[in-house]
Amino acid sequence: MRIVSAEIRVIEVPLKVPFIVSYARYDVMPSIILTLTTDTGLVGYGESVPDEHVTGETVESVVAALRDQLLPALRDTDPSNLLQVHERMDGALLGNGAAKAAVDIACWDLLGKRAGLPIHAILGGRKPEQPMIAKVLSILPPEEVAAQAKQAVEQGFTHLKMKLGIDAAQDVASVAAVRGAVGSGIRIRVDANQGWRDVSTARRMIAAIAPYDIDWIEQPILADDIDGFRRLRPHTDAVIMADEAVITSGDVARLVRDDSVDMVNLKLMKSGGILPCQRLATQAALGGLAVQVGSMLETSVSSAAGYHLALAHPNIVSTELSGPVAFADEPGDLHFPLPHVEITDRPGLGVTLDPTVLTRITVSAKELTIS
């Protein structure tokens, strides 16, 4: 099997409500859908959702990387040979995890379709339960985020994730308001997205929200503060998760060595797709760190890829692939019987794309010949 052509399609996926985190606001989510067609007639889908604040990539840089380096490097490569695919991509271009993720996901989709198996089966099998999804709440005034939290619980969510990190007083007031709105039976986790920045602020904020029964605190400090988690650890017994600080195996190794966090948030977009994240999840397990698979608000394509990985890896204890439920219109067909997501046993990703929706949200599209 060989790749003979590719389509790079830039889309803008509309959100139901704006998505606001400590470093940005999104009214639509830009994404790149990659379609790979083989000489056997099989078609595989991949996706890239770059975030310049995390990996330094933009939509424009991903398109250029796919067009000029990564896809040309796959000439005469069997896309089902994922080891060789990554070897070729890494030889062509350093980093660029979100661009490589699109290729990785599309190749896994092709491998599954070729084998007639879902990706989780190729990865080793699946856990008996369907993955659970948390409702992600943007940074909003306390009364607004509390109302959204209450509505989410009424819709069937049992886990809430609050984005924090712009204003300290508002952060505490928002956590208090949400806990008051949903009661004690709903699980709450928070994510500062580096917004608390330094260790002393993180210590103060973690202590301030401790009375509201928080499951874990995600990325409270700057990602490039290499010793920050180690310095924070002795001052709190809260469960701490690293996110933006974890991209490579060296990052995991440092956190394990320092015994400074309890969990890591792996994202296909940060680290280059399913295969690298599978390795990182195993490395984390050997180091005693639990794993969450998160997302950059991706469509059903990349979200399904993350769910397949989570289903097949025993050390992945949480999934936050919430893009499809946040979108007003998206091309994929993942089904969410809340608070779960239904991952089928259809071959590959198990996702079908609606061409009408794709056309409606397309910004640009380019076809390439690979062979």
Write out pLDDT tens, residues 12-62.
Answer: 999 999 888 888 889 999 999 999 999 999 999 999 999 998 999 999 999
* Phi, psi torsion values for 280, nearest 5 degrees: -65, -40
pTM confidence score: 0.95
The confidence score (pLDDT) of residue 355 equals: 96
Say if residue 178's pLDDT is above 80.
yes
Position 255 confidence tier, pLDDT thresholds 50, 70, 90: very high
Q: Which of 47, 57, 109, 191 is catalytic?
A: 191
47 is catalytic: no
Are residues 158 and 106 located together in one domain of the fold? Answer: no
Position 83 in a domain: yes
Answer yes or no: do 112 and 93 share one domain: yes
Please report, for the domain that includes residue 273, its CATH number: 3.20.20.120
pLDDT greater than 80 at residue 371: no
Choosing from 100, 113, 161, 267, which is the catalytic residue?
Answer: 267
pLDDT tens for 136-175 read: 999 999 999 999 999 999 999 999 999 999 999 999 999 9
Which of 357, 319, 364, 356 is closest to 13 using CA atoms?
A: 357
- The string of DSSP codes covering 294-346 is E-SS--HHHHHHHHHHHHH-TTEEEEE--HHHHBSS-S---B--TTB-B---S
pLDDT for residue 283 is more than 80:
yes
Q: Can you give the pLDDT at residue 298? A: 97
CATH number at residue 26: 3.30.390.10
Mean pLDDT over the full length of the chain: 96
267 is catalytic: yes
| β-bridge pairing 3-21 and 362-369 | antiparallel
Asked if residues 199 and 228 have their Cβ atoms less than 8 Å apart, the reply is yes
- Residues 130 and 239 both lie in one domain: yes
Encode pLDDT of 305-331 as tens digits: 999 999 999 999 999 999 999 999 999
- Whether 309 is in a domain gets the answer yes
Q: How far apart are CA 276 and CA 283, in angstroms?
A: 11
Whether 82 maps to a domain, the answer reads yes
Tokens 């879902």 identify what position? 118
Is position 218 annotated as part of the catalytic site? Answer: yes
Does some domain include residue 331?
no
Total structural domains within the chain: 2
Shared domain check, 309 and 201: yes
Q: Which of 215, 218, 244, 330 is catalytic?
A: 218
If we measure between CA atoms, which residue out of 175, 143, 171 comes closest to residue 151? Answer: 143
- Identify whether residues 112 and 129 lie together within a single domain: no
Residues 184 and 267 in one domain: yes
Please say whether the beta carbons of 239 and 212 come within 8 A: no
With respect to residue 342, please indicate whether it lies within any of the assigned structural domains.
no
Marked catalytic residue, from 100, 113, 161, 163: 163
Q: Residue 228 is part of which domain span? A: 121-326
Measure Cα distances from 159 to 134, 135, 146, 185 in Å: 5, 6, 14, 10
What is the average per-residue pLDDT within 265-276? 98
278 shares a domain with 155 = yes
Kindly list the strands in the beta sheet with 3-21, ordered across the sheet, starting from the edge strand earlier in the chain: 43-48, 24-38, 3-21, 362-369
Catalytic-role residue among 243, 244, 251, 320: 243
Distances (CA, A) of 210 to 104, 194, 214, 216, 279: 40, 18, 7, 10, 33
Residue 163 among the catalytic residues: yes
User: What's the pLDDT at 125?
Assistant: 93
Report, as an integer, the average pLDDT of 296-304: 97
The mean per-residue pLDDT over the stretch 274-301 comes to 97
pLDDT tens digit sequence for 93-121: 999 999 999 999 999 999 999 999 999 99
pLDDT value of residue 21: 87
Say what the pLDDT of residue 20 is. 84
User: From the centroid of its chain, how far is CA 293?
Assistant: 6
Residue 38 shares a structural domain with residue 147: no
Instruction: Give the model's confidence band at 204: pLDDT under 50 very low, under 70 low, under 90 confident, else very high.
Output: very high
Question: How does DSSP classify residue 2?
Answer: -
Whether residues 292 and 360 share a domain: the answer is no
CB burial class (10 A; 0-12, 13-18, 19+) of residue 286?
exposed
- One domain, residues 112 and 128: no
